[in-house]
Structure 1
Amino acid sequence: MERSIIEGVMQLLEEGVPLADISIERVARTAGVGKATIYRRWPGKEELFVDVMRAMELPDPVLPGTSMRDDMVVLLEALRRRGLANRSSAFLHNVQAQMKSSPKLWAAYHATVVEPRRLLGLELLRRGQRDGELRTDVDVTLMNDLFVGPMLLRAVLRPDADLPEGLAEQIVDTLLEGLRPATP
């Protein structure tokens, strides 16, 4: 049932219906369910839209857990692939642009999709500090921005920039050269 509701919203979006024009009633008609069925799962359309966006996202990567470096490469590679998917899909790009015009919807998406990924990156970096893979005198929030920033810049702000295979490794290895503890 939940899947048919999410697919109903996706169908409306693919037909070009703006987010602002999608009502719970319209979703119910498209999905072939009653409004009460939708409201039992989602308190409002913003929460439903967040789940729709989550369903459109590539699945979160499985981290190898072999080292902080390897895990960071996997995280950045997932970000690179998301960037490629958004570039190749005018539909995804359009939906994300519409979401940004709704502060409540964007905040909900940020809290349920973006923030958990950021927190995972911070935990990986803290683990790297504990395990001696990273300097301990650098703030992990700044380090996370340094790792993620170049990929986000290329994926989101510079659609003309390449997102080649191996970019994740190049970013991580370049940064690790400066963030590794000095060896005596």
Structure 2
Amino acid sequence: MRQAAQNPAQDPGQDPAGGPPCQEPRRGRPRSAAAERAILDAVLELLESGETLDGLSIERVARTAGVGKATIYRRWSGKEELFLDVLRDIEPDEPTVSGTAGLDDLRVLLESMRTRGLAQRSSTLLHNVFVQMKKHPRLWTEYQSTVIAPRRDAMLAAVRRAVDAGELRDDLDVELMDDLFLGPMLVRTVHRPDAPLPEDLADRIIRTLLQGLAPHSANPQVTALKPTTAPV
């Protein structure tokens, strides 16, 4: 719609009807992306001050962020869902893979696991967030299904591409191969927090599995594990 032409003699701040000058509209509360950023930052601020997930309230988050509670509830159904997004926000970004390569994409995904492990070790906040989340089964289950499961699916897809490309054997259980690649990095980053995470760890895992664990002079079929008879 075209705007009506302004009377040149009229003061820009004066009401068109000749009344007192118009008041500038008050700046409202942050909206959209700005509001979301303020809310996430507010949760982080409260967590850094020692607040726990159990002690966290939507009202306090809203007050800290400078937004109304309704603004939060329009985006999240409750504090657990909000907490999950906070965790996603402070974790390193998901890696970009080609989607066409096999071992190369697998290497990228393993390296991403290593950097996340380093981030969790160096960030007291990130470590505490994980500890608190594990105390809430529903939240932990949601994190597993929405964050961990897609990462595992991406690795499994990379292993399948490696099989299709002839980089890995096609006569083995694909999921077992995926677990063999994933396991060492998972142990180092999660179950052994004191274990070293060198920059070449992803390459070493892949190389070790490709070369095999049996001595070079041994015949894998001969040295394969055989069932043992339990003592009577």
Please tell me whether Structure 1 or Structure 2 has the larger radius of gyration of its CA atoms: 2
Distance 1:10 1:144 in 2: 35
Report the CA distance between 1:64 and its aligned residue: 4.4
Distance 1:135 1:45 in 2: 46
Distance 1:32 1:112 in 2: 29
Regions of 4+ moved over 4 Å: none
Structure 1 residue runs of 5 or longer lacking an equivalent are: 179-184
Q: What residue identity is the alignment partner of 1:29?
A: R
Aligned twin of 2:132: 98
Cα deviation, 1:98-145, whole Å, max 9, x if unaligned, reads: 100100111111112111101101111111122222212222221121
Q: What residue identity is the alignment partner of 1:59?
A: D
Distance 1:67 1:73 in 2: 10
Q: Structure 1 residue 162 and structure 2 residue 162: aligned?
A: no
**Paired residues of 1:46 and 1:108 also in contact (CA < 8 A):** no
Distance 1:40 1:88 in 2: 34
Q: Which has the higher helix share?
A: 1
* Number of residue pairs the alignment of both structures matches: 178
Distance 2:97 2:210 in 1: 18
Cα deviation, 1:20-53, whole Å, max 9, x if unaligned, reads: 1111111111111111111111111111111110
Which residues in structure 2 correspond to 1:38-117 (within 5 Å)?
38-64=72-98, 67-117=101-151
Task: Give me the TM-score of the superposition, normalised by structure 1.
Answer: 0.92
Structure 2 residue runs of 5 or longer lacking an equivalent are: 1-34, 213-232
Deviates more, 1:133-142 or 1:2-11: 133-142
Aligned twin of 2:160: 126
Task: Give me the TM-score of the superposition, normalised by structure 2.
Answer: 0.73
**Higher relative contact order structure (alpha carbons within 8 Å, sequence separation ≥ 6):** 1
Q: What residue identity is the alignment partner of 1:30?
A: T
Q: What residue identity is the alignment partner of 1:2?
A: E
Distance 2:130 2:195 in 1: 20
Question: How well do the aligned residues superpose, as a CA RMSD in angstroms?
Answer: 1.3
